[in-house]
């Protein structure tokens, strides 16, 4: 039976205390705000967060079996050029994979997951990776500004060795306008909160839950967790009562710790639920957008074999305070920042290079000498081992999933950066190979020679003149 | 059997502009300024020059590519001119072209001229590494020159168990010495003594390097006229003879393979060995009277002392503490202030180093004059510690 084989998540390391937001926005008449929200680093976006969640999800899984990747987001980077294709390239999935973007509604994440399940059921796909990530930007001081948080979730779906089977689904569609953005616009527009709450969440969530229960003749009391998306803490609690759920049955919505992560929210909650699930548990998931997708799962014995995931718990624990609202504005390009005349120098993006050398640039695939075993990145035709030097004896070798140690480093105040200093260094991979990389998500003062490093797919630079966001792998201290 | 070039070529004229933030001067002004001095010093006329080598690293921010910039600026009469570029070793590359052309017997008299106009960019530091190609931003990292060399300092400190404080102190002494030397050089960019304390407390540019660990970014030009050694004394009584001029280029081993220790520059070591062999120097620490080395950053000078075998590996600190490389020490280094204080207009720097060796060997170095130096060495490095070219040139009377 089709189900979830593995899960993963990503929550950006920076958290913004909403009290700091309130102080900055006092002039707009803001009252007290509660909790904190996860803020993507300047080099993160929906694509990079999806890759991070997928990397977490694929850890220990056989990637060769994966023949599909569906990516859901409402903060898509390209509207022409498939975003899922970039995620697939970063994960170095086989090129004979089916990839698709699911966009435009916050229920697209569950839409992608159900589409993947159906494709596997139908026998079209063997195993499909579903990623959902959002990094949404709305106007300063808007409701979205303080409720939104950034994050991503990922699931590997398949037929064998599943940790939870997908038992059934029920969907609704309403042209309900809670938020919107026209082609070419960057910031979202939100409609009245009370309307969204009362005419949206309070109506559509119960409709979907009841629809699912009725369709499959279920008893809501049998569910160990019910997950339903909701941007508002109060409305989320009220819905639990409306649905007749006990507090234990209600999956915590992450609003005070991460924020409303859009397409990712119900799926991140599902990751959190699976982290605590026991064999036999029944879990219901309900998304919210222009209507809802509802589906339910039964957890299998395989759940006990899951290990070594960052998922929600480790990601929640890995945090540093962002410290200022202005830094958030700078990171999201809501405020022009002087990064020096040096930073204005034009960097040219050649899509010929990106297309030709995608495996090296996005997949961080280098090669390994068949003669002496020396790995190298970037690609080398001639083995760099001075005692070997073999020509064209190379086989592909992916570095992105490997651990490394800092060989040497610096933190550079001259290099143009929105968040100086710019830290970078040489890293030596466990298993061989040395390369120079930018560092990210690190405290410059805590870097040490020898420090263990893992790799993270990030934005390298944006080339606005050529409509390009350029990505690559960076090094960061191993997340505990 | 290759014969090499030892004592086949002499330097008979040199010129060097004042280095600095020459907001007053165009690239043409700088070229003419160094050329006029060089030509006058040689006593020759322009028509005597049979071929020229033109060194400029970043022509795209000043004069454009190709050899024409030099030919047109100086109105050289349709002679062969070659533009050369080899990162920050470009000046030495121009000299190498001229010296090897004369040594080959193809010409009697050649010109090498280097110039760089860096201060038209509007910002400090070197322009971005666009010279590494379109792919560099995609698979490279956000590196700057100070950052690239700071990584060598980080590794050096780690490898030899120096605390950041102790390591920075060693480097501060390197810079303090060069500031002292530069303060009495009228052509130097930075002419101010600074204390070790000021250096230690300066703002960080790229950890662990601070402001005074970094050389000046300057405009300037330097040039040399070389001729067949056997005709040199016809032109002047005190020509300077080239004993060797070697260059070594990284093989990729340092940046890709995990053997390199990160705290030395392999091509500097290799170029040194090759240059000593050709010049017949057995003990560089004792036989080389003085040197101008590529102190783009304090750590570069410190490791160059070890790469050139002036100090034992890991022990440059002892020699620095003992004042060995000071103007009054046993082996003065950067007697003109070095890149640190004389400044670093990239295409000119290798020739500027030679300018000081030339003047010192002739006894014409004014207040900086050392007592009867016999052998001078220049060490000119281009690139980063992990990928670079280094030239080592040895000259004597």
Query: What interface predicted TM-score (ipTM) does this complex get?
Result: 0.95
Q: Which two tokens stand for residue B158?
A: 């780690």
Rounded Cα distance between A240 and A250, Å, is 7
Cβ-based contacts of B135 with chain A (< 8 Å):
350, 353, 357
Q: What is the mean pLDDT of chain B?
A: 97
CA distances B9 to B4, B76, B82, Å, are 11, 22, 19
A211-232 per-position pLDDT tens digit: 999 999 999 999 999 999 999 9
Q: Among all chains, which residue has been given the structure tokens 């509207």?
A: A79
Q: Which of residues 427-446 of A touch B (CB under 8 A)?
A: 428, 432-438, 444
Strands of A392-451 (E only): list them: 394-398, 404-412, 422-429, 434-438
Q: Among all chains, which residue has been given the structure tokens 């036999």?
A: A280
Residues in chain B: 397
DSSP assignment string, A74-103: SS-S-SSS-HHHHHHHHTT--SS-EEEEEE
Of A424, A426, A472, the CB nearest to B138: A472
Of B138, B152, B155, the CB nearest to A470: B138
User: Which element (helix H / strand E) includes A271?
Assistant: helix A265-275
List the one residue out of A443, A472, A332, A455 whose CA is nearest residue A42: A332
* Better-scored residue on pLDDT, A354 or B127: A354
Of B123, B128, B137, the CB nearest to A460: B137
Rounded Cα distance between B219 and B11, Å, is 24
Q: Do B138 and A348 touch (CB under 8 A)?
A: no
Count CB-CB contacts under 10 A for residue B321.
Answer: 11
Rounded Cα distance between B35 and B115, Å, is 11
Interchain CB contact of A52 with B (< 8 Å)? no
Interchain CB contact of B206 with A (< 8 Å)? yes
Cβ-based contacts of B139 with chain A (< 8 Å):
357, 360-361, 378, 472
CATH 2.40.50 range(s) for chain A read: 349-364+399-477
Q: What is the mean pLDDT of chain A?
A: 96
Of B123, B138, B155, the CB nearest to A361: B138
Rounded Cα distance between B60 and A409, Å, is 30
> How close A386 comes to chain B (CA, Å)?
7
- For chain A, what percentages of helix, strand and coil (3-state, to nearest 5) are there? 30, 30, 40
Q: Do A361 and B253 touch (CB under 8 A)?
A: no
Does domain B9-120+219-226 match CATH 2.40.110.10? no
Q: Do A342 and B123 touch (CB under 8 A)?
A: yes
Numbers of helices and strands, H then E, in chain A: 13, 22
**Sequence spans of domains, chain B:** 9-120+219-226
* pLDDT reported for residue A345: 81
Longest dimension (CA), chain A: 73
% of chain B surpassing 90 pLDDT: 94
Residue B217 pLDDT exceeds 80? yes
pTM of the model: 0.96
CA atoms within 13 A on the CB side of B18: 12
Cβ-based contacts of A90 with chain B (< 8 Å):
none
Q: Do B151 and A350 touch (CB under 8 A)?
A: no
Rounded Cα distance between B102 and B226, Å, is 8
Q: Alpha-carbon Rg of chain B, whole angstroms?
A: 19
Rounded Cα distance between A193 and A369, Å, is 60
Of A345, A350, A407, the CB nearest to B134: A350
Mean pLDDT on B4-22: 98
* pLDDT reported for residue A361: 97
Rounded Cα distance between B388 and B268, Å, is 9
A421-478 per-position pLDDT tens digit: 999 999 999 999 999 999 999 999 999 999 999 999 999 999 999 999 999 999 999 9
A155 — alpha (psi -120 to 50), left (phi > 0) or beta? beta
Interchain CB contact of B90 with A (< 8 Å)? no
> How close A422 comes to chain B (CA, Å)?
7
* pLDDT reported for residue A342: 86
Q: Determine which of B128, B147, B204 to mutate to test the interface with A (most A C-beta atoms within 10 Å).
A: B147
Q: Do B158 and A449 touch (CB under 8 A)?
A: yes
List the one residue out of A30, A43, A131, A42 whose CA is nearest residue A84: A131
Does domain A3-331 match CATH 3.40.50.150? no
Cβ-based contacts of A460 with chain B (< 8 Å):
137-138
Q: Do A416 and B204 touch (CB under 8 A)?
A: no
Q: Among all chains, which residue has been given the structure tokens 């409709």?
A: A207
Contact A111, A81 (CB under 8 A): no
8-state DSSP, B291: E
Q: What angle do CA A94, A454, A157 make, to 5 degrees?
A: 40
Report the catalytic residues of B.
Answer: 88, 344
Cβ-based contacts of B152 with chain A (< 8 Å):
408
Count CB-CB contacts under 10 A for residue A355.
Answer: 9
Chain centroid to CA B310: how far? 17
Rounded Cα distance between A17 and A23, Å, is 10
Within 8 A by CB and 6+ apart from A62, the residues are none
Of B122, B137, B155, the CB nearest to A347: B137
B45-101 per-position pLDDT tens digit: 999 999 999 999 999 889 999 999 999 999 999 999 999 999 999 999 999 999 999
Q: Do B128 and A410 touch (CB under 8 A)?
A: no
Q: Which two tokens stand for residue B364?
A: 């014409």
Rounded Cα distance between A201 and B331, Å, is 81
Q: Which two tokens stand for residue B203?
A: 């703002």
**Which residue in chain B has the smallest CA separation from A366?**
B256
* pLDDT reported for residue A379: 95
**Which residue in chain B has the smallest CA separation from A431?**
B258
* pLDDT reported for residue B129: 54
Rounded Cα distance between A67 and A61, Å, is 13
Q: For domain A349-364+399-477, give the fold.
A: OB fold (Dihydrolipoamide Acetyltransferase, E2P) (2.40.50)
> How close A468 comes to chain B (CA, Å)?
12
Rounded Cα distance between B187 and A250, Å, is 77
Across-strand partners of B390?
B248, B381
List the one residue out of B334, B346, B360 whose CA is nearest residue B389: B346
Rounded Cα distance between B160 and A124, Å, is 60
Cβ-based contacts of B203 with chain A (< 8 Å):
413
CA distances A286 to A243, B12, B256, Å, are 12, 86, 50
A299-318 per-position pLDDT tens digit: 999 999 999 999 999 999 99
Chain centroid to CA B214: how far? 15
User: Which element (helix H / strand E) includes A193?
Assistant: helix A193-195
CATH 3.40.47.10 range(s) for chain A read: 3-331
List the one residue out of B293, B242, B245, B249 whose CA is nearest residue B267: B249
Q: Determine which of B145, B149, B154, B167 to mutate to test the interface with A (most A C-beta atoms within 10 Å).
A: B154
Count CB-CB contacts under 10 A for residue B371.
Answer: 8
Q: Do B386 and A436 touch (CB under 8 A)?
A: yes
> How close B326 comes to chain A (CA, Å)?
29
Chain centroid to CA A429: how far? 25
* pLDDT reported for residue A284: 98
> How close B123 comes to chain A (CA, Å)?
6
Interchain CB contact of B163 with A (< 8 Å)? no
DSSP assignment string, A446-476: G--TT-EEEEEEEEEEEEGGGTEEEEEEEEE
Cβ-based contacts of B296 with chain A (< 8 Å):
none
Confidence band for A32, pLDDT divided at 50, 70 and 90: confident
A155-176 per-position pLDDT tens digit: 999 999 999 999 999 999 999 9
Q: Do B207 and A345 touch (CB under 8 A)?
A: no
Rounded Cα distance between A250 and A412, Å, is 47
Mean pLDDT on B371-375: 97
Burial B78-88 (b: 16+ CB within 10 A, else e): ebebbbbbbbb
Rounded Cα distance between B121 and A175, Å, is 54
* pLDDT reported for residue B131: 72
8-state DSSP, A183: T
Of B150, B158, B255, the CB nearest to A434: B255
Contact B169, B200 (CB under 8 A): yes
> In this predicted structure, which of A72-86, A343-357, A358-372, B379-393 has the lowest mean pLDDT?
A343-357
B161-182 per-position pLDDT tens digit: 999 999 999 999 999 999 999 9
Cis? peptide before A378, omega within 30° of 0: yes
Numbers of helices and strands, H then E, in chain B: 15, 11
Of B206, B257, B386, the CB nearest to A410: B206
A185-194 per-position pLDDT tens digit: 999 999 999 9
**Which residue in chain A has the smallest CA separation from B263?**
A408
> How close B265 comes to chain A (CA, Å)?
14
* pLDDT reported for residue B130: 62
% of chain A surpassing 90 pLDDT: 96
Q: Which of residues 123-162 of B touch A (CB under 8 A)?
A: 123-125, 127-128, 130, 134-135, 137-144, 146-147, 150-155, 158
Of B138, B253, B257, the CB nearest to A353: B138
A129-157 per-position pLDDT tens digit: 999 999 999 999 999 999 999 999 999 99
B296-324 per-position pLDDT tens digit: 999 999 999 999 999 999 999 999 999 99
Residue B352 pLDDT exceeds 60? yes
State whether residue A385 is helix, strand or coil.
coil
Contact B189, B343 (CB under 8 A): yes
Confidence band for B216, pLDDT divided at 50, 70 and 90: confident
Q: Do A414 and B144 touch (CB under 8 A)?
A: yes
Interface A-B: count of C-beta contacts within 8 A: 146
Interchain CB contact of B251 with A (< 8 Å)? yes
Contact A4, A271 (CB under 8 A): no
* pLDDT reported for residue B335: 98
CA atoms within 13 A on the CB side of A320: 8
Phi, psi at A471, each rounded to 5° = -115, 160
Q: Taking the alpha carbons of A81, A82, A83, A89 in that order, is the dihedral positive or negative?
A: negative
> How close A250 comes to chain B (CA, Å)?
45
* pLDDT reported for residue B177: 98
**Which residue in chain A has the smallest CA separation from B147?**
A412
**Which residue in chain A has the smallest CA separation from B126?**
A342
Q: Taking the alpha carbons of A368, A369, A373, A376 in that order, is the dihedral positive or negative?
A: negative
**Which residue in chain A has the smallest CA separation from B148?**
A410
């Amino acid at each position: 039976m089709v189900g979830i084989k593995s899960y993963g998540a990503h929550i950006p390391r920076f958290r913004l205390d909403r009290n700091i937001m309130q102080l900055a926005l006092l002039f707009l008449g803001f009252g007290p705000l509660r909790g904190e929200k996860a803020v993507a680093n300047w080099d993160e976006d929906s694509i990079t967060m999806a890759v991070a969640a997928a990397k977490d999800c694929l850890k220990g899984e056989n990637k060769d079996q994966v023949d599909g990747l569906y990516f859901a987001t409402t903060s898509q980077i390209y509207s022409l050029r498939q975003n899922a294709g970039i995620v697939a390239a970063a994960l170095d999935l086989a090129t004979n994979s089916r990839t698709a973007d699911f966009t435009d509604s916050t229920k697209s994440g569950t839409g992608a997951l159900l589409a993947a399940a159906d494709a596997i059921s139908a026998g079209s796909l063997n195993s499909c990776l579903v990623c959902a990530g959002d990094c949404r930007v709305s106007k300063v001081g808007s409701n979205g500004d303080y409720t939104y948080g950034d994050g991503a979730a990922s699931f590997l779906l398949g037929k064998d060795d599943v940790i939870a089977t997908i038992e059934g689904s029920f969907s609704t569609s309403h042209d309900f306008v809670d938020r919107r953005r026209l082609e070419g616009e960057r910031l979202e527009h939100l409609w009245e909160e009370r309307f969204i709450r009362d005419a949206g969440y309070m109506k559509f969530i119960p409709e979907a839950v009841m629809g699912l229960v009725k369709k499959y003749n279920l008893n809501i009391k049998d569910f160990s967790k019910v997950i339903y998306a909701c941007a508002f803490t109060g409305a989320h609690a009220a819905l639990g009562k409306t649905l007749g759920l006990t507090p234990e049955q209600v999956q915590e919505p992450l609003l005070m710790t991460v924020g409303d992560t859009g397409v990712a929210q119900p799926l991140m909650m599902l990751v959190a639920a699976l982290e605590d699930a026991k064999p036999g548990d029944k879990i219901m998931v309900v998304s919210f957008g222009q209507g809802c997708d509802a589906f339910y799962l039964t957890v299998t014995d395989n759940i006990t074999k899951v290990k070594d995931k960052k998922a929600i718990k480790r990601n929640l624990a890995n945090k540093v305070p962002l410290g200022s609202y202005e830094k958030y504005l700078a990171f999201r390009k809501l405020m022009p920042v002087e990064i020096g005349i040096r930073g204005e120098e034009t960097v040219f993006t050649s899509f010929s290079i990106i297309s030709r050398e995608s495996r090296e640039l996005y997949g961080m695939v280098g090669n390994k000498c068949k003669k002496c075993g020396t790995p190298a990145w970037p690609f080398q035709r001639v083995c760099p081992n001075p005692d070997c030097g073999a020509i064209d004896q190379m086989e592909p070798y992916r570095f992105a999933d490997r651990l490394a140690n800092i060989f040497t480093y610096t933190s550079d105040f001259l290099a143009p950066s929105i968040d100086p200093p710019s830290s970078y260094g040489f890293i030596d991979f466990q298993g061989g190979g040395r390369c120079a990389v930018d560092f990210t998500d690190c405290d410059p003062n805590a870097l040490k020679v020898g420090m263990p490093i893992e790799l993270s797919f990030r934005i390298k630079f944006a080339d606005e003149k050529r409509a390009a966001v350029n990505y690559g792998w960076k090094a960061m201290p191993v997340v505990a | 059997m290759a014969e090499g070039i030892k004592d086949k070529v002499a330097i008979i004229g040199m010129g060097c502009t004042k280095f600095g933030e020459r907001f007053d001067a165009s690239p043409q002004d700088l070229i003419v300024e160094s050329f006029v001095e060089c030509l006058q010093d040689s006593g020759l006329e322009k028509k005597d020059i049979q071929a020229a080598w033109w060194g400029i690293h970043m022509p795209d921010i000043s004069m454009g590519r190709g050899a024409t910039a030099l030919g047109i600026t100086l109105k050289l009469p349709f002679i062969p001119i070659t533009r050369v570029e080899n990162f920050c070793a470009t000046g030495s590359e121009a000299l190498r072209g001229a010296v090897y052309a004369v040594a080959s017997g193809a010409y009697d008299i050649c010109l090498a001229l280097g110039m760089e106009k860096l201060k038209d960019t509007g910002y400090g530091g070197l322009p971005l590494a666009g010279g590494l190609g379109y792919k560099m931003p995609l698979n490279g990292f956000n590196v700057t020159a100070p950052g690239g060399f700071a990584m060598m300092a980080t590794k050096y400190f780690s490898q030899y168990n120096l605390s950041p404080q102790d390591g920075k102190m060693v480097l501060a002494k390197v810079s303090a010495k060069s500031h002292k030397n530069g303060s009495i050089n009228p052509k130097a960019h930075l002419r101010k003594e600074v204390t070790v304390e000021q250096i230690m407390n300066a703002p960080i540019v790229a950890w662990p390097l601070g402001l005074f660990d970094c050389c000046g970014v300057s405009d300037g030009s330097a040039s040399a006229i070389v001729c067949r050694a056997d005709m040199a004394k016809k032109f002047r009584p005190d020509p300077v003879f080239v004993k060797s001029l070697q260059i070594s280029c990284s093989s990729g081993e340092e940046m890709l393979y995990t053997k390199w220790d990160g705290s030395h520059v392999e091509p500097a070591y290799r170029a040194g060995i090759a240059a000593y062999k050709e010049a017949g120097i057995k003990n560089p620490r004792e036989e080389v009277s003085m040197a101008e080395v590529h102190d783009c950053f304090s750590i570069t000078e410190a490791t160059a002392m070890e790469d050139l075998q002036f100090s034992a590996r890991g022990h440059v600190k002892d020699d620095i503490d003992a004042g060995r490389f000071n103007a009054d020490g046993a082996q003065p280094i950067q007697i003109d202030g070095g890149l640190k204080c004389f400044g670093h207009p990239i295409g000119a720097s290798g020739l500027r180093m030679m300018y000081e060796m030339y003047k010192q060997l002739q006894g014409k170095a004014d207040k900086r004059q050392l007592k009867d130096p016999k052998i001078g060495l220049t060490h000119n490095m281009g690139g980063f510690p992990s990928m670079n070219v280094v030239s080592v040139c040895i000259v004597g009377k």
